[in-house]
A and B are shown apart, each in its own frame.
Chain A
Amino acid sequence: MAGQNSKRPFPLPSEIEAVPGTEGWEEMYPYFTRIRPEDDKRFWFYNSMHFPEPMPAFDAVTAEVPYTAMGAYTTRVFAFPTALGIDYRIINGRVYITANSVSDPKEIERRLKVFQERAPHYFQNWNTLFDGWKKRMLALIEDIDAIKVPALGDFEDASTVTNARGVAENHFVRTAFHRTIEAYSVMWHHHFEFLMLGYGAYLVFFQFCKKAFPEIPDQTVARMVAGIDVLMFRPDDELKKLARLAVELGLDGNFVEGAPPEKILASLRKLGEKGERWLQALETARQPWFNIATGDGFYHHHRCWNDDLSVPFSALPRYMRLVKEGDKLERPTEKLKVERGRITKEYRALLKTDEERGAFDQMLALCHLVFPYVEDHKFYCEQWFTTRFFSKVREFGALLARWGQIEESEDIFHLQHFEVDQALVEIMIAWAAGSEARGGPHFKPLIRRRKEILEKLKDWNAPAAIGPMPESIEDPAVQMLWGITSETLDSWSRVPDAKDANEIRGYAASAGVVEGIARVLTSPNDIGQVREGDILICAVTNPSWAPVFGKILAAVSDIGGTMSHAAIVAREYGMPAVVGTGQATKRIRTGQRVRVDGGRGVVTLLD
């Protein structure tokens, strides 16, 4: 890659042009996210994996808090010798990041001493600590659900007097909001407590495999490591159970594809005991398994199944049809386990010496130790907790709307959390003063403007990277989390020549070749629109989409790394998938005929 610097394949941060009609977009985000002249010296890439859309003002907290926690663990808690944390900037609503690293050998040595003292504690006590982690996470979820948003009624409750509490209700408005944000922060600290060490274990095994078998596909390494009974499959399993029950009770006729869930539920309520039994089963499944969002938990508008039943319900008619055709809808877990064992054994046998086999066994065993955390934390953190978090924030939105600060509760997501603080404080004052809150004329036009800006920013063609291109990408977190390597940078910076005009290249995630009609999803909420036989084209696939994976012929995504659950699900369904194309949603139209070659990682436009 040397020598390409002069060509500057990516623009500098300061060269990024404003999107017409979005003047003042910077005000949506805290000052510390803005680019500064010295940022031109560093290389940044667009984290479109986690942030595929422009950030609403409140949702910027989903960048601020995770990076606060992640860096704490690498830089300060475990003192990773070479890897510090992530710096981020928001440009035209998109989150760009860069990884800080240590290169001074003396400093690396100093950090290594600390790292060697601390990391073993976690590896040696992994399962015990993970059990403790789960308890802490469940308690945290209870905590956030228990946060009470003060009603701020006419008079204070009498108990404040009889118990001589000495603190009036308005005081708790700010406390409750801060507790909500704090719980979110604690969640992300828990999230990274194990994660970077877990990735380290995977990275070591991955590198070993790549050295021993230079042509081994990333997906095959993942397959040797991946768990079979992972939580991410549970929501889909619960849906299948509900489909079986509906067929058993003879209720399947009530589930019409595309019918609104409220209508279906209402029709079931009229059916007496059988309908009640199914509704009861649905309620049981919903907690916690429907606390799964259509996205990865980084946007308030990626609604969770519990908020919007149309997503899970869209999968039910097909499942019911399959049940009636005699399909038990069970994941072939035994078969998958046997196959994983066979692949592992055969690769192991191909190693040259017993010494290598000894190292292989150690590294793989370590991966199997850490992987339940790596795979299951997502459900606890990004799904279960995060859906509760956004629900709680909506309650504050409702309070703001009641006091006329904003039009409706959803509008809270167009204010920074720092601004929400102000809006709430004013309500505390107004409630006490017996006057009106005066934020409406301030916040309402601001929110309207921000909605306009966001709409316009959506059309911005965000460059995959900005700044001077580095010689190589060494950071394990960048490689593992985002699938970005020196080769990725090369392909991003390559100008497509005429031969490539109808080809889009990405990572070969799951083998097989199919042709079909594309359905391009611009928002994960549209997942309910996917129909049988579609080829799904999306920014980033999400494990919660598993129910539609049975319907589609193939999946193509803009973003995806080696740890992508979606690739694993695709392989389980034996369905071709190409991930990390960088541009599929921009270059493919719904209705266009495409060929997906999942073994080569190529999508061909046929029209």
Chain B
Amino acid sequence: MNTGHRNPQLSNTGTGFIYWFEDIRLASRPTVGGKGASLGELTHAGIPVPPGFVVSTDAFETSIRALDPDGSIRRSIVALHGADLARVADVAREIRARIEAAPLPAKVESEIVEAHARLCGADSDAPLAVRSSATSEDSAQASFAGLQETLLWVRGVDATLKALRSCWASLYSLESVSYRLRLAIDEAQVAMGVVVQRMVNSRSSGVMFTRSPTTGDPSVIAIEGSWGLGSAIVSGEVTPDRFVVNKVTDEIAKRDIATKLVEHVPAASGSGVTTAEVPQERQTLACLSDAELGALRELGRRVEKHYGSAQDIEWAVARDGAIYLLQSRPETVWSTREVQPVAAPRTNPFDHVLAALSGKRRP
């Protein structure tokens, strides 16, 4: 996955349309979106992340302005009533068609073409992932995530530009528009970065939580994984293997191996993704070895330490065994819960015993 393009001095253009992961921090979120900011922060922390860059919100704004100088797109959305689904669908379809058809402003396009060439190096057809990175995504309205497009196994600069426009257009999918109308999100605040990064040819992929999602236990890491690309788990097409790994003793506390009937793999054409049946002999095999579980645990701990809070992480194991993280965001369910302290010190240590055996419930 070495692309030989690393040169921070050259990586950012003066116009701010392209940001390489190396130069992004969490604080860059308004210009690169949540996913892009997370990938940049991870890269900066020395965590293995497939290399890539973000097409910034400025690029989005510039392109939309060129397409729609008088702001008619945003106005037409604001004028909609969420309840009138048919009308919303019509308007949204029209906007998407405009975005997907319009050529990019020359400056934006040339910078993307240049960045693409750097990222792919000698292999100009290297497979890429093009992922929406909305500025409002992954915030409190976590469910906003998943409404936007992610295109996998994209090959060549033309396909990349097309995928980029698809991502932008997905901001105007029926679901996204309805969602924004329902929550009365300000249209002027809506913007999107787009992540373009090298594709991991995943043998296995999945998610991990650096505390138990079921009990909130901070001493374990819960890992879910399945064969192939992670999209099969996200879309719910497959029941993943579930593992619970102890952070302190390294023991694998739980190992529920599911029967994994399908996997997402690159399409035979070389572009895009297809669903394939998992051969029977692999269906009930664990998708991760103990050593890989150990390596994931270490990565999980490092990311958690870096952020200082429990994380919800997407990971992939490439066919050569290399492990990459594709996303990390703060765990929200348990971290935000108000919890009573388990116990407080007492005058004498044995007072704990007297209290426990007193027959009284603790206050």
Binding site for B on A (CB under 8 A): 80-83, 102, 105, 108, 112, 115-116, 119-120, 123-124, 197, 200-201, 203-204, 207-208, 211-217, 220, 343, 346-347, 350-353, 355-356, 358-363, 365-366, 476, 508, 511, 599-600
Contact = CB atoms under 8 A, between A and B. Distances in A.
Interface in B230-259: 244, 246-249, 251-255
Interface of B: 212, 215-220, 244, 246-249, 251-255, 339, 341-346, 348-350, 352-354, 356-359
Contacts of A215: 212, 215, 217, 219-220, 244, 253
A359 B345 contact: yes
Given A82-B357, A214-B216, A215-B219, A359 B249 contact: no
A343 B249 contact: yes
Contact of B248 (A220, A352, A362, A476): A220
Contact of B252 (A102, A343, A352, A599): A599
B11 to A, nearest CB: 38
Contacts of A197: 353
Contacts of A211: 342-343
Contacts of B357: 80-83, 115, 200, 476
A208 B253 contact: no
Given A201-B350, A350-B218, A511 B251 contact: yes
A217 B217 contact: no
Contacts of A358: 344-345
A217 B356 contact: no
B253 A203 contact: no
Contact of B341 (A108, A207, A353, A600): A353
Contacts of A207: 356
A346 B255 CA distance: 23
A353 B344 CA distance: 10
A365 B349 contact: yes
Contact of B251 (A108, A204, A353, A599): A599
A355 B345 contact: yes
Given A214-B216, A216-B219, A599 B350 contact: no
A355 B349 CA distance: 14
Given A215-B219, A215-B253, A216-B219, A352 B350 contact: no
A177 to B, nearest CB: 39
26 contacts: A82-B357, A108-B358, A112-B359, A115-B354, A119-B350, A123-B353, A201-B350, A204-B352, A207-B356, A213-B218, A214-B217, A215-B212, A216-B219, A217-B253, A220-B246, A220-B248, A343-B248, A353-B341, A356-B341, A359-B352, A362-B352, A363-B343, A365-B349, A366-B349, A508-B253, A600-B254
Given A358-B344, A476-B356, 13 more contacts: A82-B359, A124-B350, A204-B353, A212-B342, A215-B217, A215-B253, A216-B219, A347-B219, A355-B345, A362-B352, A511-B252, A600-B254, A600-B255
A72 to B, nearest CB: 17
Contacts of B350: 119-120, 123-124, 201, 366
B247 A346 contact: yes
Contacts of A220: 246, 248-249
A366 B220 contact: no
A509 to B, nearest CB: 12
For the residues of B in contact with A, the DSSP-based class is loop
A203 B341 contact: no
A356 B349 contact: no
A89 to B, nearest CB: 27
B305 to A, nearest CB: 11
A102 B359 CA distance: 9
Closest 10 CB pairs of A and B: A123-B350, A358-B345, A214-B215, A359-B343, A362-B349, A82-B359, A215-B217, A108-B359, A366-B349, A346-B248
A213 B353 contact: no
A116 B354 contact: yes
A103 to B, nearest CB: 9
Contact of A599 (B253, B339, B359): B253
B284 to A, nearest CB: 14
B219 A81 contact: no
A362 B350 CA distance: 8
Contacts of A123: 348-350, 353
Contacts of A108: 358-359
Given A511-B252, A600-B254, A214 B212 contact: yes
A201 B252 CA distance: 29
A486 to B, nearest CB: 17
Residue among A208, A214, A346 with most chain B CB within 10 A = A214
Contacts of B342: 208, 211-212, 351, 356, 359
Contacts of B253: 215, 217, 508, 599
A105 B360 CA distance: 9
Given A120-B350, A353-B341, A359-B344, A203 B252 contact: no
B220 A119 contact: no
B358 A204 contact: no
A194 to B, nearest CB: 13
A81 B212 CA distance: 36
A363 B352 CA distance: 7
A405 B353 CA distance: 52
A358 B351 CA distance: 14
Residue among A105, A115, A197, A204 with most chain B CB within 10 A = A204
Nearest to B350: A123
Residue among A201, A347, A359 with most chain B CB within 10 A = A359
Given A124-B350, A363-B349, A599-B253, A352 B341 contact: yes
A362 B219 contact: no
A350 B348 contact: no
Contact of B219 (A105, A213, A599): A213
Contacts of A208: 342-343
B345 A119 contact: no
A75 B252 CA distance: 42
A304 to B, nearest CB: 35
Given A212-B342, A355-B341, A81 B353 contact: no
Contacts of A81: 357-359
A353 B343 CA distance: 10
B288 to A, nearest CB: 15
A216 B217 contact: yes
Contacts of B356: 200, 203-204, 207, 476
Given A119-B350, A359-B344, A600-B254, A213 B217 contact: yes
B249 A350 contact: no
A600 B341 CA distance: 30
Contact of A362 (B220, B252, B345): B345
Contacts of A80: 357
A365 B359 CA distance: 23
B297 to A, nearest CB: 13
Nearest to A364: B349
